[in-house]
Every structure is written in structure tokens, then in C-alpha cells.
């Protein structure tokens, strides 16, 4: 069996040459594609009863890919979104092989014709201002860890940063004189975000006299927080806040829901959609439009501005009109 027909050869080139060398994709995307192949290759090997090192590229047929996707849903209990994510990685591999090997074009076409499964989009979860205030009040700022947690929560809400972006933040990324921060986002793209004076003050306290190249957010052992550690901190304080704010029990509070909250509150404050897109580092405006579509208060404000009355003004607010509110909730 020639080297160019072996699955292992193409997988190595795809992961090292394409994802890193050519595309320079984000680390999380690289890991997602790698994890897909770590599941796919043993599955194909077991189905065909062939050793992993003897699998050919053509062994990963369109039919066996469909069986793999069904296995992801049924045996592993994953949702449709995860299934589609796995398929996206396989599509990318097939496209790469097809572009570099003419004899595999027919196989590439068959694999890339496997469709994504349609799924409903979950409603974007965000926190209302009282809920954000309660979450920010949760850390005990009399302790070092409490001050760190407060600074982290405040930074996440102020900047709309993803958990991984906050974990990678260095002291040199924060421009203290101009009250702004440079965030390294997806695709190694940087964006500038303004910071409130309170956020700058908390980050200054956290940085202290440490070196500029050090990470801003550290764990109790002095090591950089990971994105998983940041998730744990947010979830811990959300659980603590549920006692005072019962509405949080119905919401899954995470760094990403704080990011959603930032976008929603920016829109409510009158920021245009392009400003929000740049603030969050979205590549496409379509991603940002989700926030405008799901925010009930913004819809209600737009409706109130175009309200046609019967010749007389009313002083009743839209929020106090039960019929109007019932209609808005049905949208």
C-alpha cells in the first residue's frame, strides 16, 4: 500500500501542515478537529477489523462516516450540534485530501455530500442587570482570591471576553494609561476594548509589580488560570448568588452567558450592531444579529417608537401593558 493512500499520512499532513502551517487555526479548533479524528479512526478500525496503521484513506467511506455520526449521537449521547461539529472536521479533512490528491476527488465529493443535520438554535442566555450586579457582589473582596474573582467577573462582563481569551490575557495586554485592553481572539485576531476605571483599578491591583509577560489571572498556586478554571469560578459564584436571586436557577451561568449579557446590554444602551460585532470580535455580523433578535426589551423599545395612537398621547409605559407584554413574549 503506497504512502499516499494511507490514512495516517493524510491525517498527519492535515493536522500539522494544513491546520497549523497553512490555516493557523485557533488552538481550540485544532483540538476539536484532533478529537474528532481520535474518535473516527478507532471507530473505522473496529468496523473494518483492520489495524489503525493499515487503514487507507478510502476506508473512511461516506457510508462509514454516516455510521460514525450515528454512533456519536446514539452511543456517545451527543447532541446534534456535536454531530455537526464532528462532520465539519471530516469535511475539512476531505477537502484537504481532494485538493492535494486528484485520485481521491471522487471520494472527497462523496464525503462532502453528507449533509449537516438541521437543528433548532438555542435561545441566547444572558443576565439582566440586577443579576449581573448580584454576581459581581458575590466574591468576598476581603480575601486575595475574592479580589481576584471580582476582577475576573468584572473584566468578563466589561470586555465580553471568552473564557480562553481571559485565560491568555497578559499584563502587557492591558493599557492602563488609556484604560483599554488588547484581546487576542479567534484566528489570532486582536481587538481593542475600552475598560471602566473600576476594571482598570482592579486589574492594577491584581497585576501588582509582576512582569508584563505574566498572565493576569492566576490560580491559588500562582499558575495561570485555564479556561476550565474560569468556568468553575463563574459557576461557583452563580450558584452562590442563586440564594439572593432565584431567577438565576433557570439560567445556565457561564463565561459565555456573561459575554451574551455584555452584547445585550450594549445594544440596550444604544450601541449599533457593528460596534457590538467589533467589541466581541465576531467575524460575521450574522453572529452578532442573534443578540438583537433575542432581546425582548430592545424589540419592545422599537415597537414603542412606532406606536400609532388614536390622536391622543398616552403616558402608560409598554411594560405596564399586560396585553402588549403577552404579545411580545409570543414573538
By annotation, the residues acting in catalysis are 162, 186, 256, 259, 282, 291
Which positions ≥6 away from 248 have C-beta within 8 Å?
127, 131, 134, 135, 238, 241, 242
CB within 8 Å of 235: residues ≥ 6 apart: 253, 254
C-alpha cell, 278 = 467589533
First vs last Cα of the chain: how many Å apart? Answer: 59
At residue 10, the 3 state secondary structure works out as helix
For every residue of 53-115, DSSP letters joined together read GG-BGGGS-HHHHHHHHHHHHHTS---HHHHHHHHHHHHHHHHHHHHH-GGGHHHHHHHHTSP
Number of residues that make up the chain: 331
* Burial (CB count within 10 angstroms: exposed 0-12, middle 13-18, buried 19+), residue 56: middle
Scan for cell 459581581, then name that residue: 136
Strands of the sheet containing 174-175, edge to edge, are 174-175, 180-184, 190-194
Amino acid at each position: 500500500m503506497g504512502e499516499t493512500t494511507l490514512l495516517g499520512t493524510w491525517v498527519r499532513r492535515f493536522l500539522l501542515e494544513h491546520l497549523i502551517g497553512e490555516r493557523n487555526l485557533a488552538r481550540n479548533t485544532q483540538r476539536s478537529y484532533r478529537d474528532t479524528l481520535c474518535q473516527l479512526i478507532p471507530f473505522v478500525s473496529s468496523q473494518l477489523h483492520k489495524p489503525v496503521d493499515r487503514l487507507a484513506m478510502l476506508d473512511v467511506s461516506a457510508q462509514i462516516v454516516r455510521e460514525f455520526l450515528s454512533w456519536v449521537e446514539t452511543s456517545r449521547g451527543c447532541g446534534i450540534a456535536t454531530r455537526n461539529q464532528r462532520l465539519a472536521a471530516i469535511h475539512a479533512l476531505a477537502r484537504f485530501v481532494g485538493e492535494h490528491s486528484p485520485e481521491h476527488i471522487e471520494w472527497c465529493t462523496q464525503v462532502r455530500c453528507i449533509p449537516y443535520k438541521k437543528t433548532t438554535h438555542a435561545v441566547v442566555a444572558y443576565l439582566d442587570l440586577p443579576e449581573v450586579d448580584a454576581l459581581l457582589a458575590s466574591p468576598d473582596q476581603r480575601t486575595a482570591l475574592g479580589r481576584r474573582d471580582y476582577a475576573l467577573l468584572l473584566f468578563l462582563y466589561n470586555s465580553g471576553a471568552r473564557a480562553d481569551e481571559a485565560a491568555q490575557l497578559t499584563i502587557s495586554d492591558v493599557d492602563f494609561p488609556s484604560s483599554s485592553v488588547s484581546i487576542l481572539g479567534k484566528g489570532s485576531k486582536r481587538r481593542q476594548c475600552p475598560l471602566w476605571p473600576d476594571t482598570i483599578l482592579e486589574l492594577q491591583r491584581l497585576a501588582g509589580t509582576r512582569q508584563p509577560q505574566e498572565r493576569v489571572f492566576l490560580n491559588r498556586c500562582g499558575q495561570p488560570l485555564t479556561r476550565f478554571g474560569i468556568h468553575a469560578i463563574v459557576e461557583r459564584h452563580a450558584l452562590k448568588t442563586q440564594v439572593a436571586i432565584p431567577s438565576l436557577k433557570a439560567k445556565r451561568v457561564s463565561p459565555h452567558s456573561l459575554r451574551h449579557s455584555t452584547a445585550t446590554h450594549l445594544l440596550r444602551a444604544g450601541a449599533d450592531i457593528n460596534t457590538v460585532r467589533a467589541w466581541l470580535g465576531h467575524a460575521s455580523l450574522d453572529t452578532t444579529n442573534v443578540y438583537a433578535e433575542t432581546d425582548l426589551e430592545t424589540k419592545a423599545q422599537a415597537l414603542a417608537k412606532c406606536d400609532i395612537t388614536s390622536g391622543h398621547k398616552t403616558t402608560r409605559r409598554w411594560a405596564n401593558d399586560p396585553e402588549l407584554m403577552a404579545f411580545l413574549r409570543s414573538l
